[in-house]
Amino acid sequence: MRKAVFAVRTAKEILRDPLNIAFGLGFPIVILVLLSVIQSNIPVELFEIDSLAPGVTIFGLSFMTLFSATLISKDRQGAFLQRLFTTPLTAADYIMGYTLPLLPIAFCQGIICYAAAIIMGLKISINILIAALAIIPISLFFTGLGLLCGSVLNDKQAGGICGALFTNLTAFLSGIWFDLDLLGDLKEFAFCLPFVHAVEIERSIVSGNYDGFSAHVFWVACYAVIVNIVSVCVFTKKMKCC
């Protein structure tokens, strides 16, 4: 009940800034359209819609990290959280209260991305709906990482790291734009991170090829659990310091 009340307050806070929501929902669509236009004007198959749409969908989730980091860092800088620390809410309650309102946004973002991809030629199938639902557990990693960063950084630092740095890492180390073989020795490093595995989960579902699916899910699930546990621990420490 306490988590639900705090989640409602967080949702209202998010809705007060519709411009950021519109940007997060719309920017992946712009990327999808631009790359599709490029594909239509080059002789090689570089940005096929079947492979591009799942990748861009995951890229869009990186903005959930920015949203969650900015949200919690702004609350930390003000007196709001300090007042809330006097309530019976635990650190886990706070983390869940910030996470729950962001999950529907992540799901809507995925639906919008796949809807745009269908207009651009992606074949309609039940796999697309399953892929959209798979976004919800994947987004737990992205929001959890944002909450971790927002728990230790101010809003400007969180904007720089989770905005410019993290979104670029997601783009270039996930195989969205190009084959990871082009990274050379960095390919092994990329596969130690969850980004490429998140993309492969979506691509596997959309294509209906579930071979090796469990291995990718394992990587993403482990990162999501670890990041959220660390977020709770860090937030607990911050509560004790106030």
Q: Which of 63, 87, 92 is nearest to 167 (CA)?
A: 63
Distance CA 107, CA 131 (A): 10
Q: Are 38 and 47 a contacting pair, CB within 8 Å?
A: yes
| 213 contact partners, CB below 8 Å, separation of at least 6 | 201, 204, 205
Reduce the DSSP state of residue 79 to 3 states and report it.
coil
Q: Which of 130, 89, 96 is nearest to 10 (CA)?
A: 96
User: What DSSP string describes 112-171?
Assistant: HHHHHHHHTTPPP-HHHHHHHHHHHHHHHHHHHHHHHHHHHS-HHHHIIIIIIIHHHHHH
pTM greater than 0.95: no
Q: The tokens 């092994």 sit on which residue?
A: 188
Is the four-CA dihedral 57, 58, 61, 66 of positive or negative sign? Answer: negative
pLDDT tens for the chain, residues 1 to 242: 566 777 777 777 777 777 777 777 777 888 888 877 777 777 666 678 888 888 888 888 888 888 888 888 877 776 666 666 666 667 777 788 888 888 888 888 889 889 988 988 888 889 999 998 888 888 999 998 888 888 887 777 777 777 777 888 888 888 887 778 777 778 888 888 899 999 999 998 988 887 777 788 989 999 999 999 998 888 777 666 65
Domain ranges of the chain: 2-241
Distance CA 99, CA 139 (A): 9
Q: Are 208 and 127 a contacting pair, CB within 8 Å?
A: yes
Q: Which of 92, 78, 72, 73 is nearest to 2 (CA)?
A: 92
